[in-house]
Amino acid sequence: MRTVTDEDMRMFALLALEQLALPQSRATFLDALSDENDTVRPIGLRGLFLIRDPQAICAAEDAYRTGNTVTKQVALFCLNRTATDDTIGSLQRLLDAEQSWRWRRAIKKALRQARSKGPRPIWDK
């Protein structure tokens, strides 16, 4: 049987905060984005989007550039779901900088989906 580590507890706590989606959790989610543990970073990013933090768009772009595969997928998902002019610009910048054809394809798909939703005020559902 595996023992629960401090990293596991931090991850479980972040998952609980993500489910609650309280604006008071903003500082915790921002801290999670700079965490060395790659399983914690996507949770922090999703949390920022769930509380509709304005810094989430820049955070998603940075997380995509520096993250692992899961973090990149979460960043694209979050940018796609927001679908504002800012996120479309962010996706375009990521596309321009990306070398991998697989990731370029994923970014193009997110761009198409975001554009098909049309320009919306930030954080509309």
- The stretches in the chain having pLDDT less than 50 are 1, 122-125
pLDDT at 35: 83
Domain boundaries, the chain: 6-116
pLDDT at 90: 92
pLDDT tens-digit map of 5-35: 777 888 888 888 888 888 888 888 988 888 8
pLDDT at 15: 86
Q: How much is the pTM? A: 0.81
pLDDT at 125: 45
For domain 6-116, the question of CATH label 1.25.10.10 is answered with yes
- Cβ burial of 77 (10 Å; 0-12, 13-18, 19+) is middle
